[in-house]
Amino acid sequence: MEWPFGNLRPLIYGLIYVDPPWKQAMYSEISGIAKAPQSKYSCMELDAIKALPVGHLAAPNCFIVMWSLWNFVAPGYATDVLKAWGFEPKSGGSWAKITKKGKQAFGTGYGFRGCCEPFLTGAIGRPKVRSKSERNGIITEIEVDAELEMNALLAEIREHSRKPEEMRDALECMFPDVPKVELFSRRPACERWDVWGNETAKFAEAA
């Protein structure tokens, strides 16, 4: 298979952070498409996402955090992606979305209206977190017991598909000394991160 990741180096990354462009099934091409991800950016079929050689980027001990959607998590599709990439699924959590005024943000959904977004984690080998006090140490304005293994992130919703900076902050605390890469990134590379994607300049001010 031709290497799809440009200048990214194989077999070196101890942390992979990825936000795949999931393609949603449409029940109404008229009313549904305007709110679907594919109306905002290029999306990929599930099999195409699974075929990406993401595991070839991983060091012998590598941790992965992958954003998903509940209708991909519930039937196991997102877990299948991690397995196809060579990772052992481990755990996960969710981002509870709030508005600038501190209110709960609501979107569309299948049955329930969506107000949070899930992420899954996985591993190759035995990646080591720096310390228990930093483990899933997601930074918010709410005081929490640092010894808890937190998997709930409360953070403001911004532009469509833009993920909270608090997650990357937490991952930097958890894995400060390993090479890190963000796939399908929407901001440029920086000192601590390599990036790959076709919209890496979209949120450049956040880098």
For the residues of 120-174, what is the DSSP string, one character each?
EEEEES----S-GGGTT----SS---TTS---EEEEE--STTPPPHHHHHHHHHH
Q: What is the pLDDT of residue 133?
A: 52
| Choice between 195 and 203, residue whose per-residue pLDDT is larger | 195
Q: Mean pLDDT, the chain, as a whole number?
A: 80
**pLDDT greater than 60 at residue 102:** yes
pLDDT digits (tens, 9 = 90+) for 32-67: 454 555 545 588 999 999 999 999 999 999 999 999
62 Cα distance to chain centroid: 15
Q: What distance in Å separates the CA atoms of residue 206 and residue 10, rounded to the nearest whole number?
A: 26
Q: What is the pLDDT of residue 138?
A: 43
Short-list 78, 54, 48, CA closest to 3: 54
| Choice between 101 and 17, residue whose per-residue pLDDT is larger | 17
- Cβ pair 122, 64 in contact under 8 A: yes
Q: What distance in Å separates the CA atoms of residue 42 and residue 44, rounded to the nearest whole number?
A: 7
Name the token pair of 107.
């979107």
122 burial via Cβ count (<10 Å: 0-12, 13-18, 19+):
buried
pLDDT digits (tens, 9 = 90+) for 5-36: 999 999 999 999 999 999 977 555 555 454 55
Phi and psi torsions of 160, nearest 5°: -55, 130
The predicted model gives 93-119 an average pLDDT of 77
Tell me the sheet residues that pair with 66.
Answer: 18, 120
The predicted model gives 65-94 an average pLDDT of 95
The predicted model gives 85-110 an average pLDDT of 82
* pTM attached to this predicted model: 0.81
Q: What is the pLDDT of residue 111?
A: 63
Q: Is 163 left (phi over 0), alpha (psi -120 to 50) or beta?
A: beta
Written as one letter, the residue type at 95 is W
